[in-house]
Structure 1
Amino acid sequence: MAIARVHPLLVAFLALLLLGTCQARPAPRPAASKGAVVDGITAIYNFGDSISDTGNLLREGAAGGMMEHTVALPYGAAIGGATGRCSDGYLMIDYLAKDLGLPLLNPYLDKGADFTHGVNFAVTGATALDTAALARIGVTAPHTNSSLNVQLQWFKDFMSATTKSPAEVREKLVNALVMVGEIGGNDYNYAFAMNRPRSGSDGERSVADVGRMMTGVVESMVLVPKVVQSVISAAREVLDMGATRVVIPGNFPLGCVPSYLAAVNETDSAAYDGNGCLVGLNLFAQMHNVLLQQGIRELRRSYPAATIAYADYFNAYVRMLEGAREMGFDGSAVTKACCSAGGGDGSKYNFDMERMCGAPGTAVCSRPEERISWDGVHLTQRAYSVMAGLLYHKGFASPPPVKFPRQ
Structure 2
Amino acid sequence: MKLLCILPVLLLACVEPAASSLRRYDSIFSFGDSFADTGNDIVVFAENSLVTPAAELPYGMTFFGRPTGRNSNGRLIIDFIAEKLEVPFVPPYLTHNGSFRRGANFAVAGATALDASFFRDIPGVGQFVLNSSSSVQLRWFDSLKPSLCSPEQACRCFFKKSLFFMGEIGFNDYSFAVFGMNITQLRSIVPDVVKTVSGAIEVVIKQGARTVVVPGIPPLGCTPPNLFFFPSPDPAGYENNTGCLKDLNEIAVHHNSLLQESLKNVRRNHPNARVVYADFFTPVIEMVESPDKFGLIQDVLRACLTGPVFFRPLKRE
Normalized against structure 1, the TM-score is what?
0.66
Partner of 1:49: 33
User: Amino acid of the residue matched to residue 40 of structure 2?
Assistant: N
Where do 4+ consecutive residues of structure 1 move more than 3 Å? 28-32, 36-39, 61-65, 133-139, 351-354, 356-359
Cα distance change, pair 68–242 in 1 and its aligned pair in 2 (3 A): closer
The CA RMSD measured in Å over matched residues stands at 2.9
**Structure 1 residues 266 and 237: CA distance shift in structure 2, 3 A:** same
The CA distance in 1 between the partners of 2:292 and 2:53, in whole Å, is 30
- Please, which runs of 5 or more residues in structure 1 have no aligned partner? 1-27, 196-214, 341-350, 360-407
Against the structure 1 CA distance between its residues 91 and 298, is the aligned structure 2 distance closer, same or farther, given a 3 Å change threshold? same
Q: 8 Å contact 1:38–1:100 — kept in the other structure? A: no
- Among 270, 291, 300, which residue is 2:236 paired with? 270
Conservation of the 8 A alpha-carbon contact between 1:42 and 1:117: yes
Deviation at 1:136, TM superposition (A): 7.8
SS at match of 1:325: helix
1:7-406 matches, within 5 Å, as: 39-62=23-46, 63=48, 68-78=52-62, 79-135=64-120, 140=126, 142-193=128-179, 195=180, 215-273=181-239, 274-330=241-297, 332-337=298-303, 339-340=304-305, 356=310
Residues 149 and 104 of structure 1: is their aligned pair in 2 closer, same or farther, counting only changes over 3 Å?
A: same
1:63-121, Cα deviation, whole Å (9 max, x unpaired): 467x6433111222223111111121211111111111111110001241332211000
CA distance in 1, matches of 2:291, 2:114: 34
Quick one: which amino acid aligns to residue 143 of structure 2? D
Q: Is the 8 A contact 1:70 1:358 kept in 2?
A: no
Gapped regions of structure 2 (runs ≥ 5): 1-12
Q: Is the 1:255–1:282 Cα contact (8 Å) retained in structure 2?
A: yes
Structure with the higher helix share, 1 or 2 = 2
Deviation at 1:180, TM superposition (A): 1.1
What percentage of aligned pairs have identical amino acids?
37
Q: What code does the residue aligned with 1:47 have?
A: F
Paired letter, 2:250:
L
Q: Is the 8 A contact 2:177 2:186 kept in 1?
A: yes
Match for 1:246: what amino acid?
Answer: V
Q: Distance in 1 between matches of 2:271 and 2:224?
A: 40
Pair member with larger Rg: 1
Distance in 2, matches of 1:59 and 1:352, equals 18
User: 1:212: which partner in 2?
Assistant: none
* Structure 1 residue 137 displacement after superposition: 8.5
